[in-house]
Amino acid sequence: MSQQSAADYLREAEQTAVRVDDIPADTPVRNVGKVGVIGAGTMGGGIAMVFSNAGHDVVLVEQAQEGLDRGLATIKGNYDRTAAKGKISEQDVAERMGRITPSLSLDDLADVDLVIEAVFEDLEVKKDLFARLDKIVKQGAILGTNTSRLDIDQIAAATERPQDVIGLHFFSPANVMRLLEVVRGEKTAPDVIATCMQLAPTVGKKPVLARICDGFIGNRMLTPYRREAEFVLEEGATPERVDGVLKNFGMAMGPFAMGDLAGLDVSWAGRKRQAATRDKSLRYSTVADRICEAGRFGQKTGAGWYRYEKGDRTPIPDPEIDALIEKSAQEAGIERGEVSDQEIIDRTILALVNEGAQLLDEGIAQRASDIDVVYVNGYGFPADRGGPMHWAEQRGLGEVLAKIEEYHRIHGAYWKPAELLRRRVADGADRF
């Protein structure tokens, strides 16, 4: 496949992604001038920059003065670095900082047109916040949550205006990453969806619409991708080998280096939350949990899947982790052997594809090309391969299904082929 054809495909995919199939193109949109952002941490600060950069006045709210000062200092530092590279002027820095008004009170959000919360990822915390916003923010304003996987319908139910609540999932760092997952709730009004889809490109983002499920599009697909990467470790690979193979495939980073960069404690918290409902008959790798139990959360603690020298982000392979993987495999009765490069690619990328097909069938994503926009712009999938779904179509859906069916026979229930994939192949189709 030529690079040009993948580029053309993605350009068209990004243009198509803005369209919402069940909302007329001429739906009137709401005016969004002033924007409120709650939380001045990495994510909230980045979101404030996104809107200030595009000319919006922003009210940035934090609970404590110390957190607010730290957030503003980070924003100023980001702008100063951009100015030092000659990309913006000193006057631009002053104007962008000037558009951000710091505050310690939610009451200062009374007149905003759109508010986005970027507080701690906890359902009760967010529900409590939305109940308070409901009494403060003017009627007709859009109430956005930056949650990456929580149930937005439950958050909306904490208000008297669920029609105004929507998910706006930015990717970190928000001022750099171009993807925005716009997540519609059961009761989100059509004009709120249309407004957010049309607003996104004006602030430099590529929007993709999703419905609610655990993890929406991107993070839900990431779960089986990481799972298979961890399984091939137990079967004989090493973290640096898996990361190396997937970087050669074209991924911006391998899954283990990426985990260390993002922080391993976040996904660990998710696994602990899901532990009670996990099917105990299915294979489960304990390696990642054990790494976290040892206090290794990635780059921020100087050790995760790799170890790190102080002040250096270069991953250094760690014999302790190799020993931990061997021990886990032994306890699970897994015989370790040689794992080929192709096996590493097929196990991880086909896991993405199968989950993507499942998402399409459930109506979580509108179209296969939307999934590709998510993965190229939010997860470092190689643009010259067009995204996981396009890659599968280029490989041939029949061949993809045959490989997934083979893995289903060998590895069990995790690899049950998505019904959509089976139907498309049975119909002789070459696209999703």
**The predicted structure's pLDDT at residue 3:** 57
**Could you report the per-residue pLDDT of 235-266, keeping only the tens digit for each?**
999 999 999 999 999 999 999 999 999 899 98
> CB neighbours (10 Å) of residue 344?
25
Residue 402 lies in a domain: no
Beta bridge mates, 303? 298, 307
Catalytically active residues are: 169
Q: 15: pLDDT confidence band, cut at 50, 70 and 90?
A: very high
- Is 416 domain-assigned? no
Task: pLDDT band for 4, please (50, 70, 90 cuts).
Answer: low
Give 324-350 pLDDT, tens digit per residue.
Answer: 999 999 999 999 999 999 999 999 999
Q: Is 122 inside a domain boundary? A: yes
The domain that holds 119 is classified in CATH as 3.40.50.720
116: in domain:
yes
Q: Rounded to an integer, what is the distance from CA 253 to the centroid of its chain?
A: 14
Q: Is the model's pLDDT at 278 over the cut of 80?
A: yes
Name which of 174, 167, 172 is nearest 149 in CA terms: 167
Q: What is the total count of domains within the chain?
A: 1
Cα–Cα distances (Å) from 227 to 90, 255, 286, in that order, read 46, 10, 11
Say what percent of the chain tops pLDDT 90: 94
pLDDT at 149: 87
| pLDDT over threshold 60, residue 375 | yes
Q: Which of 212, 176, 199 is nearest to 380 (CA)?
A: 176
Asked if pLDDT for residue 159 goes beyond 80, the answer is: yes
Strands (E), 177-281: 179-183, 206-210
Specify the pLDDT at position 152.
98
Give yes or no for residue 197 having a pLDDT over 60: yes
Average pLDDT over residues 160-177: 96
Instruction: Determine the Cα–Cα distance for residues 207 and 116; give it in Å rounded to an integer.
Output: 16
Structure confidence at residue 361 as a pLDDT band (50, 70, 90): very high
Peptide bond into 173 cis (omega under 30): yes
pLDDT for residue 172: 87
State the DSSP code for 418: P
Q: Is residue 3 part of a domain?
A: no
DSSP three-state, residue 272: helix
- Is pLDDT at 293 greater than 90 in this prediction? yes
Q: Please determine, for residue 267, whether its predicted confidence score (pLDDT) is greater than 90.
A: no
Q: In this structure, is residue 301 part of a structural domain?
A: no
| Residue 352 pLDDT class (50, 70, 90 cuts) | very high
Q: Measure the CA–CA gap between 314 and 93, rounded to whole angstroms.
A: 31
pLDDT, residue 91, reads: 97
Give the type of residue at 390.
Answer: H
Q: What are the pLDDT digits (tens) for 405-422?
A: 999 999 999 999 999 999
pLDDT at 2 (0 to 100): 52
Which whole number is the average pLDDT over 56-72?
98
Q: How many Cβ atoms are within 10 Å of 383's Cβ, its own excluded? A: 18
Domain that holds residue 148: 31-210
Does 213 score more than 70 pLDDT?
Answer: yes
| Average per-residue pLDDT for the chain | 96
